[in-house]
């Protein structure tokens, strides 16, 4: 089961990407929420099994609000309110992910990456400011919400990168790439919605988004497993 659900997730992601450009609209419609549903089925039992505590609750909460964000955005073409609800859901997910990424399994006292390598922080913040500046004149009444969301996802990416050397390499790289893909996906989505239609936008948005959530979920489960192993090792050394 440890590898089964992630494997099924990737298969459903491929199916969703393919169905979005075929005469299978029903499959595209139902496969999108199924993606986050599968990740929740992977994360919740893992959080319980490994007694992940607050970290597990936060990650599962982020996945839950992401699921609702997906559902709301599926109906945005019929009701503009759904876009705002979707944006709000993803904003909550970003905040929750950010808090979760600060709860690392510290095994040493490495200097935080964004303090040790300042250019990383400059690059991430610089991109966030640059992209927002590119689209701000097209946002009209959405400038406030989009500004807040840009701030939230930028901080989320920084906190994901700040886990460097505080967790296992496997957990770090999964979540780091996941967070980066999340920002890439939202950038494409924003450009496509507010500025100019992007060719093959469905594939580019959903591929980066799908890999983003996969990386965050799998990397988080890896951290849960590592933390449980460390607790067991510590308990054994005290006997």
pLDDT averaged per 10 residues in sequence order, the chain, 239 residues: 88 90 77 96 96 95 97 86 94 97 67 80 95 94 94 96 91 97 97 92 94 98 92 69
Burial 47-73 (b: 16+ CB within 10 A, else e): beebebeebbebbbbbbbbbbbbbbbb
What pTM was estimated for this model as a whole?
0.92
Specify the pLDDT at position 113.
79
Q: Do residues 217 and 184 lie in contact, with contact meaning Cβ atoms separated by under 8 Å?
A: no
- Indicate the burial class of 11 (C-beta count within 10 angstroms; 0-12, 13-18, 19 or more): exposed
Tokens representing 123?
């690059």
Specify the pLDDT at position 25.
74
């Amino acid at each position: 089961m440890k590898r089964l659900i992630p494997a099924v997730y990737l298969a459903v992601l491929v199916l969703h990407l393919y169905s979005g450009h075929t005469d299978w609209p029903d499959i595209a419609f139902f496969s999108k929420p199924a993606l986050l549903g599968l990740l929740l089925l992977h994360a919740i039992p893992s959080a319980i099994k490994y007694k992940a505590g607050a970290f597990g609750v936060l990650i599962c909460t982020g996945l839950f609000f992401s699921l609702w964000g997906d559902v709301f955005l599926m109906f945005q073409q019929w009701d503009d309110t759904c876009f705002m609800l979707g944006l709000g859901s993803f904003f909550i997910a970003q905040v929750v992910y950010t808090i979760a990424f600060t709860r690392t399994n510290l095994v040493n006292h490495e200097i935080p990456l964004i303090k040790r390598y300042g250019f990383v922080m400059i690059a991430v913040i610089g991109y966030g400011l640059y992209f927002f500046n590119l689209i701000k004149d097209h946002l009209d009444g959405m400038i406030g919400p989009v500004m807040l969301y840009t701030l939230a996802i930028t901080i989320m990416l920084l906190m994901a990168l700040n886990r460097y050397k505080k967790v296992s390499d496997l957990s770090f790289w999964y979540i780091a790439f996941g967070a980066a893909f999340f920002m890439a996906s939202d950038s494409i989505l924003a450009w496509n919605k507010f500025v100019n239609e992007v060719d093959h936008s469905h594939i580019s948005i959903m591929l980066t988004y799908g890999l983003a959530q996969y990386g965050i979920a799998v990397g988080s489960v890896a951290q849960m497993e590592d933390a449980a192993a460390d607790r067991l090792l510590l308990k054994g050394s005290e006997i």
